A and B are shown apart, each in its own frame.
Chain A
């Protein structure tokens, strides 16, 4: 199985690859169009602002290519953190920006009453669809974000997290799975989620 981690110059891709190494899953980090077309499974990680992320996808010619591969050719896709948020119709970080629009919805600044922002640290999720959450040892995962995904169709929400209210913590729709938390930073439970996703599509 060929796992490709998309290099669109948005943050720490090495830690995602390290997690796959731990699972003995071979992965490459690349933004080469042919490599992406040849990959069996595509991972879009990323930290940083929504606007910058979309800008980079356009600049590298990945916006349309990824849409073609994931939406039309149904290639298994895993988004992490910003890589989940970019799937929305639009985001507001720092200004209104059109997203990939694979999952209709918006990404807006969180405003939890009397709580600190960013939402930073370990928080437990509530699983709504358990396809990728089998055998996890704990439901605590590592979050670090100030904006959150509001999905138009609640049916795509695969888990939620509570921080001054319910927020989306992962999304699932067909071949697409994406998490707001960082599985690659969430120790055993995080590795298990990655393993479940890989096994499911192996």
Chain B
């Protein structure tokens, strides 16, 4: 049976790991190589490493840093930040990434998803869906104010060849007061692709709720691992109690 994936997310500012709240107020939380080493020793299912300011600052993610992070990892790693052409993807895969995470480029140029999936296979193209609740509707924005409704963006990305979605609630980001199950359920029930839920986990109860209220099979988190005593295995043990398949190591 396929196991529920618990995925730590490392968010990077080009210099250090940072943790935001509602995508703002970055707080420095450490060094990516050290963090990767710790999560590797804990045998986590997968890791996500994102440079969250690369696109906004017109930077590329430094492949040497990616290499150093991945060197620590004997599990799959998804990497994203500032990806805008096929060469960027090639560089990250060469540095050892198993999947790439694309957001900005996927929003403004969906045909890029097709180009990327044709060369690298759709299984390695993960689309970041950062949703904001606005007047009762979930919207996906870019920095220039371009916006598209959640389901339209997801449907389009899937048709163009995406392999997976990370659904992130901007409103719950870093708040640690629970997931937006409405958002996650809306997203996962409208796609055949794997979905990773993200944003809001602060205690074990939150994870239990998420998996009882949605059909998602994966969750990505960071705050809970920085600011509480809980580890990915603690979450898995909690999920096992409510009958979810997990891999305890």
Contacts and interface: CB of A to CB of B under 8 A. Distances in A.
Interface stretch (B68-76, B139-147, B149-157): B68-76
A12 B98 contact: yes
Interface stretch (B30-38, B118-126, B172-180, B199-207): B118-126
Interface in B63-117: 70-71, 74-76, 93-99
B123 A145 contact: yes
Contacts of A63: none
B2 A122 contact: yes
A128 interface: no
Contact of A118 (B70, B71, B97, B163): B163
Contacts of B192: 116-117
Nearest to A143: B2
Contacts of B46: 121
Interface in B4-48: 5, 43, 45-46
Number of chain A interface residues as a range? 35 or more
Contacts of A122: 2-3, 5, 45, 247
A120 B191 CA distance: 15
Nearest to B99: A144
B75 A142 contact: yes
A67 interface: no
A81 to B, nearest CB: 9
Interface string B180-199: 00000000000111110000
B236 to A, nearest CB: 11
A187 B75 contact: yes
Contacts of B76: 142, 144, 182, 185
Contacts of A52: 119
B96 A19 contact: no
Given A116-B192, A185-B76, A48 B119 contact: yes
Most buried by A among B71, B74, B218, B249: B74
A118 B71 CA distance: 26
Contacts of A121: 2-3, 5, 45-46, 194, 217-218
Interface residues of B, number: 37
Contact of B71 (A18, A185, A188): A18
A145 B164 CA distance: 12
Given A121-B3, A142-B75, A187-B43, A47 B194 contact: no
A191 interface: yes
B205 to A, nearest CB: 24
Contacts of A186: 74-75
A175 interface: no
B93 A118 contact: no
Given A11-B93, A12-B93, A140-B3, A187 B74 contact: yes
B1 interface: yes
Interface of B: 1-3, 5, 43, 45-46, 70-71, 74-76, 93-99, 118-124, 163-164, 191-195, 217-218, 247, 249
Interface of A: 11-12, 14-15, 18-19, 22, 47-49, 52, 94, 115-124, 138, 140, 142, 144-146, 162-163, 182, 184-188, 190-191
Nearest 8 pairs between A and B by C-beta?
A: A122-B3, A48-B121, A118-B123, A120-B194, A123-B2, A116-B194, A140-B247, A185-B76
30 contacts: A11-B121, A12-B97, A14-B95, A15-B70, A19-B74, A47-B123, A48-B120, A49-B121, A94-B118, A115-B2, A116-B191, A116-B192, A119-B2, A120-B163, A121-B46, A121-B218, A122-B5, A122-B45, A122-B247, A123-B1, A123-B2, A140-B3, A140-B247, A142-B76, A144-B98, A145-B123, A186-B75, A187-B43, A187-B249, A190-B74
